[in-house]
Amino acid sequence: MTQHRIAVLAGDGIGPEVMAEAQKVVDAVAAQFEFGIDWHSYLVGGAAIDATGAPLPEATMSGCEAADAILFGSVGGPKWEGLPPNSQPERGSLLPLRKHFELFCNLRPAQIHPGLEGLSPLRADIAAKGMDLLVVRELTGDIYFGEPRGRHGEGEQEYGYDTMRYSRGEIRRIARLAFEAARKRRGKVCSVDKANVLQTSMLWREEVTTIAADYPDVELEHIYIDNAAMQMLRRASEFDVMLCGNLFGDILSDEAAMITGSMGLLPSASLNAAGFGMYEPAGGSAPDIAGQGIANPVAQILSASLMLRHSLNEIAAADAIDAAVSQALADGCLTNELTPAGQAGLSTAAMGDAIVARLSQGVK
Ligand SMILES: NC(=O)c1ccc[n+]([C@@H]2O[C@H](COP(=O)([O-])OP(=O)(O)OC[C@H]3O[C@@H](n4cnc5c(N)ncnc54)[C@H](O)[C@@H]3O)[C@@H](O)[C@H]2O)c1
Ligand SMILES: CC(C)[C@H](C(=O)O)[C@@H](O)C(=O)O
Ligand SMILES: [Mg+2]
C-alpha cells in the first residue's frame, strides 16, 4: 500500500480547528481508496513562538523537507502583532517557507458552486451566470520580497519603503503555467497589472505578451488591477485564468473567495518547479471566530484535495473529496458565515462529518 508522508502545520486561530476536519476527510478517503497517510505535525507561527520562541523552528523545517507535501493551516493573530517584523508569524514562517521551497506558483481556484448562487453577494442576475476562475498568483517575488526595504529617519521625516521587483525570468515561468492551465480550462488568460503606472508592470505586460505567442490557442486580455477588481464584480463569469503578481493576486483572491460566498471556501496550492507543494486556505487565522468551533473547514479540506491531486497523484481520491464537498453544500450543509443572519449553521466538526458522510456517494 502506498504511504504518503505529510507535514501538518496547523498554526494559529482557526488553523487547528479546520485542520482536524481536513485530516478526518483525508483519512476517510485514504481508507476508501486504499493508500496510507503518515501525518507528522509540527509547530509553526504564533503557536511555535509561544512554545519555542521562534515562528519556524528547525524541527518544522526539517519535517517539511522530509515530507511528500505540506498541509498548512494559518498563522498570525493580534497576540503576536507587536513583535519585531521578522519575528511575527507571517513574515517569520509563512513567507520563509514559500521562499525556501521556491513555491512560486500559487493556484487559487474559486467557483460559485452550481445551485449555490444565492450564497454570493453579487447581484442575483450576475451571480446566476456563475463564476469558475483560477487565480494564478506569483508567490516568491514582487513587493513581498524585493530589496531594499525598511524604515529610515525619525519623527515626521521617518519613512517606510518596499521594492516592487520582477525579473523577466520570474514573469516568464509563472506566465507559462497560467497559459498551460488555461489550455486545460476555457482557454482564456487575463493578465493583471498596473502598467499605466509601474515599471514592474510594464515589464510584466511585455513578457506576458511575448509568452502568449507560444499559445496562439489561448486568448489573452490585459487588465489594470483597479479595473480587474471592478470587472470581477460586473462580469465574474467571463474570467477563466487570472494571472497576477504576488500583491495583486493576494488582493484579487480574497475578492474571488467572497464572490463564492465566504473566505472559508477558497483553497490554494503553492508549487515549485519540481512539483513539491504546500497547501493552504487562502484565508487566515480568523481571530474573530477562533476557538468557537464555527469556522468553515471547506477551504482546508479542498486544500487537502489539491494536495492529493498535485503532489500525491491520488486523483480519484481528490475527485471524491471535491464531489463530496459540492454535494454537502448542495444539500444545504452550511457553516455559520454562510447561513442567513440569525440562523445557526453547522459546527466545524459537523461540516467535516457531513463531507465524510458523502464521500462514498456520487463518485463517478
Ligand atoms: N495563510 C495564512 O496563514 C494567512 C492568510 C491570511 C491572513 N493571515 C493572518 O490571519 C490573521 C487574520 O487576518 P484577517 O482577519 O485579515 O483575514 P482572515 O482571512 O483571517 O479573516 C477575514 C474574515 O474572513 C473570515 N474567515 C476567514 N476564514 C474563514 C473560515 N474558514 N470560516 C469562516 N470565516 C472565515 C474571518 O472570520 C474574518 O471575518 C492575520 O494575522 C493575518 O496576517 C494568515
Ligand atoms: C498572511 C499573508 C502573508 C498571506 C499573503 O499575503 O500572501 C495571506 O494573505 C495569503 O493570501 O496567503
Ligand atoms: Mg491573502
Report the complex ipTM: 0.98
Same domain for 255 and 270, yes or no, is no
Q: Per the structure block, which three cell numbers stand in for 47?
A: 503557536
d(CA 23, CA 304): 8
- Do residues 361 and 281 both lie within one domain? yes
Q: Is 34 left (phi over 0), alpha (psi -120 to 50) or beta?
A: left
For residue 254, give the ligand 1 atom closest to its CA. Answer: 19
The one-letter amino acid at 277: G
Q: How far is CA 8 from CA 96, 134, 286, in A?
A: 16, 25, 19
Instruction: Encode pLDDT of 166-190 as tens digits.
Output: 999 999 999 999 999 999 999 999 9
194 is a catalytic site residue: yes
Residues 134 and 239 in one domain: yes
pLDDT tens figures, 1-18: 899 999 999 999 999 999
Cell numbers representing residue 285 in the block: 487565522
The pLDDT value given to residue 86: 86
250 noted as active-site residue: yes
DSSP string, 274-335: TS-EEE--SS---TTTTTTT----HHHHHHHHHHHHHTS--HHHHHHHHHHHHHHHHTT--B
Q: Closest by alpha carbon to 257, among 128, 114, 137, 108?
A: 108
What does the pLDDT read at residue 362? Answer: 52
**For 361, phi and psi rounded to 5 degrees?**
-95, 155
* Residues at CB less than 6 angstroms from ligand 1: 14, 18, 74-77, 90, 94, 262-264, 280, 283-289, 295-296, 299, 337
Query: Would you call 254 a catalytic residue per the annotation?
Result: yes
Each residue's pLDDT tens digit, 116-133: 899 999 999 999 999 999
Same domain, 175 and 299: no
Residue 115: is its pLDDT beyond 90? no
Q: Which of 12, 142, 144, 279 is catalytic?
A: 144
- 225 domain residue, yes or no: yes
Give the number of other Cβ atoms within 10 Å of residue 360's Cβ. Answer: 12
Domain range holding 192?
A: 117-142+170-260
- Whether pLDDT at 364 is above 70: no
pTM (predicted TM-score): 0.97
CATH code, domain carrying 195? 3.40.50
